[in-house]
Amino acid sequence: MADVGIVGENEFVERQEKADIIKRLGFSRCRLSLAIPKAIDYKGLEWFNGKKIATSYPGILNSFLKEKGIKAETHVITGSVEIAPGIGLADAIFDIVSSGSTLVSNNLREVEVVMQSEALLIGNPNMDADKKAILEELLFRFDAVKAAQGKKYIMMNVPDDRMSEVLAELPGIKSPTVMPLATKGWSSVHTVLDEKRFWEIIGRLKAAGAEGILVLPIEKMIL
């Protein structure tokens, strides 16, 4: 038995295995939705009463239908669920939706979102102390990599008499680092910015007197 693993939330909920959710990882986001043929005039959930729904997630679907008081037949299919209505196996489907392009290509449309899903880090609830310590170190490293995403390390040369103007344009994490250069009257300014913010303020930095602006990627960042 594994101690930790990465799994889609949809699979975790469907299988109902005994494991702890350690961390939501924020990628592989999708949703589980009900979809029907485009031509159908859909008025609400009541439409599904008496209908046959094809899915690979009968547990999640049946729980949802029971909660909403809908009596429908579940038809379990492993793979290519979206073709079921087109070949007469079902009236509707319940499946993973990401971009929605697969639904469109099969003349289906999403009508009800049942749950959101993303990648989860899960763990054995019976891990011993040593393994939990290793897990904490792993989580620390995950956080360091995630914190660096979308961030850039910025270095620039600034005349000392324009320093206050440049610093006013830097929405960094904390106070920027300012170091004197060999050339008298000049300093180097280092900071971390969101990449999207850099392009927003680059013109203002140059206008404020910054020169030799260097942008570097960040692999990891410890907060």
Q: Which domains does the chain have, with CATH numbers?
A: 7-19+25-119 (3.40.190.10), 150-217 (3.30.70.120)
Supply the pLDDT for residue 196. Answer: 83
DSSP code, position 155: E
**pLDDT tens over the chain, length 223 residues:** 789 999 999 999 999 989 999 999 999 999 999 999 999 999 999 999 999 999 999 999 999 999 999 999 999 998 889 999 999 999 999 999 998 899 999 999 999 999 999 999 999 999 999 999 999 999 999 889 888 888 999 999 999 999 999 999 887 556 789 999 999 999 999 999 888 888 888 889 999 999 999 999 999 888 7
> Which residues have CB under 8 Å from 82's CB, separation 6+?
35, 93, 95, 102, 103, 106, 108
Polymer length in residues for the chain: 223
CA geometry: angle 28, 31, 37, nearest 5 deg: 130
In eight-state DSSP terms, residue 48 is G
Q: Give the per-residue pLDDT at 172.
A: 57
pLDDT of residue 33: 97
Q: What's the Cα-to-Cα distance from 121 to each of 11, 20, 67, 222, rounded to whole Å?
A: 12, 9, 28, 20
pLDDT number for residue 174: 66
Tokens representing 7 are 């799994």
Contact at 8 Å (CB) between 40 and 112? no
Q: Retrieve residue 190's tokens.
A: 């280092």
HEC assignment per residue over 70-120: CCCEEEECCCCHHHCHHHCCCCEEEEEECCCHHHHHCCEEEEEEEEEECEE
Instruction: Report CA Rg, the chain.
Output: 26
